[in-house]
Chains A and B, each alone.
Chain A
């Protein structure tokens, strides 16, 4: 593989070429040269385009590839292709498969199936057996087999006692607990955010208290256990404020939000469109703006895709019966670029997609420098991309952006010596 990327603005804070426009030559997966102008010859694959950017490969911390068990929604291959198409070189998978990823064998299955691919898959092991929230799963053994962190994924740990033990248990191997904060007893009959819109639509609501109550509890459990906690899917103004305060107190807490919670609000639901049925639900504009502020002030560490692909039948039923979730991996760039009145620069977004997640989950820092292994995402913020049923890579159908022209385009990713070009 011999590739040259022409005239790309390098977005990589730790690189000496940060914010500079350069040509990058990659030979056999290694960055061989970075210079103002690298001559092109016939043996070179040339990547060029208007407004090209190159960052280190993006990393997602919370995606569902539905494999094993729900391969009709997604499988490891289609998931990795979707990730690459969305600009990702690294993806962390939640354990809510069938069976769940709650023992060594399941961790090894995922790792073996995804070895040496263009997208590096990382496994999140379950905190509790079968993600049932009652007894601890074999986290130590899963860690030894390669699990990167622990979570019950879409299921929030309800029992305070169990979460306390989990936070304590992972300390011996420096593990990280990931929690999606939802008090189910307060939300079980709700279908969307409780607010003016849900009242107008006659739909039962999920109250925001259900989120920040759990965040508050989890912070106190973290304080007591002195462990490591990552909260994902924060959706409320009050919730993110609690995390901001906990960070000021130097607790070992980090958090991520989905791009769609930064872009959309509960007003998207006025036509009962189940594409927008997600959990935690789309909140009010006030919440959305609070999340954006939290991105700006560094409270939010990462963008988590919460990629949840579904087949047609799962969504084309009455709203109450439709399954939760949105497929998002292929549209992250578009979502971030479409946020109205965003003051966040593309370089800031890139930090949330590259350095921060690697740091939080203990992966080696990457760099854009000569002699480094190339782990790159090459994209344009100006070019557009037709995202259609025909060219999507995920098996899912549940994206509100499907069959439309999207702002921003992922041109290619390079990882593990492999170039993945997007058409």
Chain B
């Protein structure tokens, strides 16, 4: 009996089928990365908690956004969103007095600040508190814009300090540190910068 050839299956259309599937998945894929402004909410205080220590007024930078989305800084100056960053930097970086003790050391002046050293403004970056007050009727868009600018003020200051100390920006430093989690020096550098300009933003409960 003559040996019969086994007919091969024609695979020519395989590519077409695969393409069809490929296009389907291409279209349905959503590659959205979730981004946003991260915040840590303050812990709920028990009812019988002692009164929090009074803060000096000069160490608090109050930004108020009212229901008409007007922005009021320190209760007196109306401001547009793009001016807030500058004002916040001036306030945080003022360095007019002694800071909170770091690691049990004596309270010291801020020797990395480049601000005006105005005694009527904040003492030290680790004492400077930014308080963001809002109204229930404030629009979320404005609220986020202001938050963004306040976080941006800290980022700018950290970048500046990091450039001065290590020659690269803080953002780059943070990226490097995340890419090499085992590198202790980078981690230390990041923490040092964070400690010198700690981000203290308080979101006050809105007025009714």
Q: Do A and B bind each other?
A: no
Which B residues contact A (CB, under 8 angstroms)? none
Which A residues contact B (CB, under 8 angstroms)? none
